[in-house]
Amino acid sequence: MVSFNALLIKDKRGFYFWHLACLPKCDTRFKNRKSYATSYMNRTATLLLACALSAPAAFAITISHNPNHTFDNVHLNNGDSGTLIKGHFNGANAGYIVDLTSDSGNKSLKVQGNALEGDTGNTPYTQLNISLENNASFEFLELNVDPNLTLTGTFTVYFTGGVSPYVEDIQLDGNGENRYGILAGAGEKIKKVSLSISPALNQVSTRKVITPGLNDVKQIRFDGLADAVTSTPDGGSTALLAGLGALALAGVRKLRQ
């Protein structure tokens, strides 16, 4: 007589799959076959639940210099100032509102033309946050950064699913334009992007003391905007693994009866 037991196998790619393995009647390691099956399914259930809690989403943030992407321009109101600057769209994304804030200095910003500058008490400014109101999300953001020196900046990208935030240092040329694009992975959404300039990364050795920072940020553009929705961030894989774990636990209970 031969009994079959379901084995959970992990392949080289990190994927788990079920494999039927037989346990011959003559196997002397387990005189009580019911006890063996119960012990095995206990371990399987534990592994499944661990996978459900730790499985990351397949997500990749791409930050590129001089990107080639479709977009919708953000329009700012010339002369606006304060700790919250609002932008709007005139194209297909009309109705969405962009929030622009700073955590540096006294947090005050101002709009000059269609460029975002630091206001009195925050010049040059060293930190900028960009997001959409009402918890809306987006797939792509482009901006043109004008620093007062050639320096290193840091993008911090908050997104749905996976290990958030994503952080990457970038090089900003003080003598030219610095167009950067931030692109979300397939099926994922970005919620907020922050740009910061750290004095510790930008030590200035000139006769004139210059505080590293931003003169302005302009040409802010978005694509792939979407209203806030309630969804499974990883496409349902966590729910599937949790469901398999629940089935395994149910099998354990049945065997114990």
pLDDT digits (tens, 9 = 90+) for 92-139: 899 999 999 999 999 999 999 999 999 999 999 999 999 999 999 999
On whether the CB atoms of residues 97 and 133 are closer than 8 A, the answer is yes
On whether the CB atoms of residues 99 and 132 are closer than 8 A, the answer is yes
pLDDT digits (tens, 9 = 90+) for 194-253: 999 987 677 665 556 778 999 999 999 999 999 986 444 445 555 555 555 555 445 545
The pLDDT assigned to 37 comes to 47
pLDDT digits (tens, 9 = 90+) for 207-222: 567 789 999 999 999 9
What are the C-alpha distances in Å from 242 to residues 21, 53, 187, 205? 23, 8, 21, 56
The pLDDT assigned to 134 comes to 96
Identify the H or E element spanning 166: strand 166-172
Q: Which is higher by pLDDT, 55 or 76?
A: 76
| Domains annotated on the chain, with CATH | 2-55+234-256 (no CATH), 62-223 (2.60.120)
pLDDT at 161 over 50: yes
Report how far residue 243's alpha carbon sits from residue 241's, in angstroms, rounded to the nearest whole number. Answer: 5
What is the mean pLDDT of the segment spanning 20-29?
A: 46
What is the mean pLDDT of the segment spanning 164-188?
A: 88
pLDDT at 34 over 70: no
What is the mean pLDDT of the segment spanning 156-169?
A: 86
Report how far residue 38's alpha carbon sits from residue 248's, in angstroms, rounded to the nearest whole number. Answer: 10
Q: Which is higher by pLDDT, 65 or 83?
A: 83
What is the mean pLDDT of the segment spanning 146-163?
A: 88
Query: Which distant-in-sequence residues (6+ apart) come within 8 Å of 19 by Cβ?
Result: 6, 7, 8, 9
